[in-house]
Amino acid sequence: MGQEIHSREFTAEDFAEFQHRLEAETRLLANWFKEGVFVFNGAVGGLELEACLLDQKADPAPLNQVLLEGLDEPLVVPELATFNVEINSTARPLQGDVFEKMSDELQGVWQRCSRLAGTLGARMGMIGILPSLRQDALSLRNMSPLNRYQALNDQVFKLRRGRPVELHIDGRESLDLCHDDVMLESAATSFQIHLQLDGQRAATFYNLSKMISAPMVAVSANSPFLFGHDLWDETRIPLFEQAISVGASDLTKRVSFGIRYLYESMMENFQANLQRYPVLLPLLMDEPVERLAHLRLHNGTIWRWNRPLIGFDESGAPHLRIEHRVAPAGPSVTDCIANAAFYFGLLTGLAEIHQRPELQMGFIRARSNFYNAARFGLKAELYWFGWERVRADRLIREQLLPVARQGLGLLEIEPASIDYWLGIIEQRTLHCVNGAGWQRHWVARHGRDLRALTLAYLERQESGMPVHEWSLE
């Protein structure tokens, strides 16, 4: 979905031809999985950070086109709303001081964006959901002027037969509303973590990535408020799942945790894409079948919380990646990099311990853990390998951080780097505070002035300190 398209109008012939090409590319990909053609030269990681532009009153500032033109930075691209952008990172081998390099790059680009935003009378913000956001800001007038977004809106509502999105979230409070376009999606901003995989073990890593989605969302939750309502610790999860809903069945949800683990390979995901998901954007591209252009575009319109990706290196050889999408943006660059370090380390460490993890934790339990963690954050009760029910903060601190430390050691991350980044995760669990917790503590002390909360959050974010060090004064 990152690519622009030439038109928002499609014919029945476009859909038929796209389907034909999608089937051909899916057959080719299946052969690649059988032949084991995917390159792997060691673990490689990357990041994407979605961010907001705000005015001085903490309202969305629809300035992304002006910002991008002035910035002239290929790592920063538009998002669905004119008040959102996405910052990408350079993919790097996971070794040595990689997290310091990731942090320096992300911090540098963030500061450039912030300085330019300041000249426009705006501020940059990274947060799962803006507490000060109002529903009327999420309208088509604030959609980025790109055909792919206009076409996405058109096709989603054709599949919905024009019915509005009906949002229902039952958390600490309840929220019910209707919305007439896909712009609800732009209320949710994420921190997406990419990992290139060994094709021989990709299914194991993918299944483990689903299992650790619960502790990842628990430790990183940063989205408790939506339109004035106190909901889940990570309200972004139910919001995004319902914002682009085109079917009631788990089999056809475009945003979902999935319905099962992989049995043998990630090819099962792409076969499901072909069989279960109607084409949304039938853009016909003049590309050889080996580039899988139509398959990759179709996959980009299915937002699994752990999304399989096919990429190509500079020589044109294909590789496999997981895009881990469960973490929200923020609270700070430091917090984001710590989240990535925890994910890479935990996944690597667990893969060393569990050769067939799906035999030890049922899928229904992993999915239940995920939604419990999204709802209750670090206070969620989770099930784990060999454990009874245990609170997420204790599970992470006592069981998972040692495994993540082992995993980062296997990746040959520098010991001081391991101590620093995992120390941030440990401090969150010791204080039982993530971004959601800090926001609720601030409201408990100062009252539910969500505009003032957003401004207080931005002030602390701009200090660069991790959230467990933020004051409430």
SS (H, E, C) 236-265: HHHHHHHHCCCCCCCCCCCCCCCCCCCCCC
Q: Residue 328 in contact with residue 191, Cβ under 8 Å? A: yes
Helices (H), 330-384: 333-353, 363-376
Is the peptide bond preceding residue 164 cis, with omega within 30 degrees of 0?
Answer: no
Which tokens hold the place of 160? 């919905």
What domains sit in the chain, N to C, each tagged with a CATH number?
Answer: 12-464 (3.30.590.20)
Q: How far apart are CA 117 and CA 421, in angstroms?
A: 29
Q: How far apart are CA 440 and CA 444, in angstroms?
A: 6
Q: How far apart are CA 144 and CA 80, in angstroms?
A: 6
Q: Residue 202 in contact with residue 319, Cβ under 8 Å? A: no
Say what the pLDDT of residue 250 is.
59
Residues 6+ apart with CB under 8 A from 423: none
Q: Residue 52 in contact with residue 125, Cβ under 8 Å? A: yes
Say what the pLDDT of residue 183 is.
94
Q: How far apart are CA 273 and CA 270, in angstroms?
A: 5
Q: Residue 328 in contact with residue 222, Cβ under 8 Å? A: yes
Q: Name the CA radius of gyration of the chain, rounded.
A: 21
Say what the pLDDT of residue 5 is.
60
> Distances in Å between the alpha carbon of 420 and those of 12, 43, 50, 181?
55, 21, 24, 43
Closest CA to 53 of 96, 140, 113: 113
Q: How far apart are CA 344 and CA 422, in angstroms?
A: 11
> Distances in Å between the alpha carbon of 402 and those of 219, 352, 423, 468?
15, 13, 11, 20
What is the chain's pLDDT, residue by residue, as a tens digit (473 residues)? 455 566 678 999 999 999 999 999 999 999 999 999 999 999 999 999 999 999 999 999 999 999 999 999 999 999 999 999 999 999 999 999 999 999 999 999 999 999 999 999 999 999 999 999 999 999 999 998 888 888 888 888 888 888 999 999 999 999 999 999 999 999 999 999 999 999 999 999 999 999 999 999 999 999 999 999 999 999 999 999 999 877 655 567 889 999 999 999 999 999 999 999 999 999 999 999 999 999 999 999 999 999 999 999 988 999 999 999 999 999 999 999 999 999 999 999 999 999 899 999 999 999 999 999 999 999 999 999 877 799 999 999 999 999 999 999 999 999 999 999 999 999 999 999 999 999 999 999 999 999 999 999 999 999 999 999 999 98
Q: How far apart are CA 421 and CA 426, in angstroms?
A: 9
Residues 6+ apart with CB under 8 A from 74: none
Length of the chain: 473
pTM: 0.96
Q: How far apart are CA 139 and CA 129, in angstroms?
A: 16
Q: How far apart are CA 471 and CA 398, in angstroms?
A: 26
Helix (H) or strand (E) holding 473: none
Q: Is 274 exposed, middle or buried (0-12, 13-18, 19+ CB in 10 A)?
A: middle
Q: Residue 233 in contact with residue 376, Cβ under 8 Å? A: yes
